[in-house]
Chains A and B, each alone.
Chain A
């Protein structure tokens, strides 16, 4: 194998080194140029400026919408509360006026004799006094404006009363109580759940 002169090797090394530096310099310049192009920077600055402006407007819009929502929500909340309260009142009023069928604990009175008009008036008055919340006589619901005459209720009498069953029973049956006053000897039965019809 012929011997390569030493100086040729130096030249080769020097050329390789130079080639490496040249290539590296080229890529570095390209990279710097790429990120520092003044046009690109200008565009980006403009974009950032627009974004800042746009985001500020969006924040204002969001704040406005949130305020609008808060106002609406507050109103709705108040309305909802008022509505719920009204619905509860309606339920109570419907029970009172007898427009709805109702259920609840209470007592039942069964009698096989006719009551005179005044006896019936006194009995119903006493039931109200004792705390009857709903009364039904022979399938007819007694309402706040119910009136009756001698022919309204005939025996056998089947009277259902919703209220505090223990108080109703004790008050009716006590000595000198309304049953004794009107001379009606019937058993008062406690019922855990009575079902009363709506008024017609």
Chain B
């Protein structure tokens, strides 16, 4: 009987040949088959997912920032209170025009006779008039349109009077807003302004008082600076 080995070897040889061919051809397929683009697609997918995460984080952060800003905007109610408080104080300081009832006082040198100390109007007269007005409830005062504020001094400089660093000459028009009746009565009371009353009578110094229903007093238009005083804390 003939041995079956040669037949077996032939079959095995053909089988191995086929397998080697397949094995050899398979790697070739990889270079032309979609594995490369597929992997690139997978990478793109991962990149896009990462980008999405970053974008979402950025959006969350932007939302938080907007919320913070919005909350600050909501505090505007507080801001408007501050603005209102500032406005009220500004009016008290004399930095806004003021309108209301009041009196207008005219002080001028005597029209007759020679110019003596008693016939002319002085800075001291204006200071006394201003003090009487404040004492009797005036809310705002101006002299020849110069608003009297916290540091306004009224001083005589040779032949002129200096108010808020502005020279002014007679006649002096003193406007005051307040209770016109009270202001009028106080100014006409000779006990309050005895010197002026005496010179009006004896020397013809001009001093008139008129009540006004509507009076306008301009805002202070100069500058000031607080350098030394600070608010007490606590």
Contacts and interface: CB of A to CB of B under 8 A. Distances in A.
B128 A105 contact: no
A75 B59 contact: no
Nearest to B34: A36
Contacts of A11: 5, 8-9, 12
Given A35-B35, A145-B138, A128 B151 contact: yes
Interface stretch (B65-73, B103-111, B167-175, B199-207): B65-73
Contacts of B22: 25
A18 interface: yes
A21 B19 contact: yes
B79 interface: yes
Contact of A65 (B9, B63, B83): B63
B149 interface: yes
A94 B195 CA distance: 35
Given A44-B41, A83-B82, A144-B92, A125 B69 contact: no
A187 interface: no
B229 A68 contact: no
Q: Specify the main secondary structure of chain B where it touches its partner.
A: helix
A147 B134 contact: yes
A189 B3 CA distance: 139
Interface residues of A, number: 85
Given A32-B26, A102-B232, A96 B150 contact: yes
A147 B69 contact: no
Contact of B229 (A32, A87, A104, A125): A104
User: Looking at chain B, what size class is its interface with the partner chain?
Assistant: 35 or more
B206 to A, nearest CB: 21
Contact of A95 (B3, B127, B153, B229): B229
Nearest to A102: B229
Interface string B122-144: 00100110011111101100000
A30 to B, nearest CB: 12
A25 B228 CA distance: 96
A106 B66 contact: no
B230 A95 contact: yes
Contacts of A128: 150-153
Interface string B1-43: 0010100110011011001101100100110011100110110
Given A18-B15, A58-B56, A195 B38 contact: no
Interface string A57-100: 01101100110110011011001101100110111111111011
B230 A102 contact: yes
Interface string A120-160: 01100110110111100000000111111100000000000
A59 B82 CA distance: 40
8 nearest CB pairs, A to B: A147-B135, A147-B134, A93-B89, A129-B153, A51-B48, A72-B69, A21-B19, A65-B62
Interface of B: 3, 5, 8-9, 12-13, 15-16, 19-20, 22-23, 26, 29-30, 33-35, 38-39, 41-42, 44-45, 48-49, 51-52, 55-56, 58-59, 62-63, 65-66, 69-70, 72-73, 76, 79, 82-83, 85-86, 89-90, 92-94, 124, 127-128, 131-136, 138-139, 148-155, 195, 224, 226-232
23 contacts: A18-B15, A18-B16, A21-B16, A28-B23, A36-B34, A44-B38, A55-B51, A58-B55, A59-B55, A61-B59, A65-B66, A69-B62, A69-B66, A90-B85, A90-B86, A93-B93, A100-B232, A102-B230, A122-B124, A122-B127, A144-B94, A146-B134, A164-B227
Interface of A: 7-8, 10-11, 14-15, 17-18, 21-22, 24-25, 28-29, 32, 35-36, 41, 44-45, 47-48, 51-52, 54-55, 58-59, 61-62, 65-66, 68-69, 72-73, 75-76, 79-80, 82-83, 86-87, 89-97, 99-106, 117-118, 121-122, 125-126, 128-129, 131-134, 143-149, 162-164, 195-196
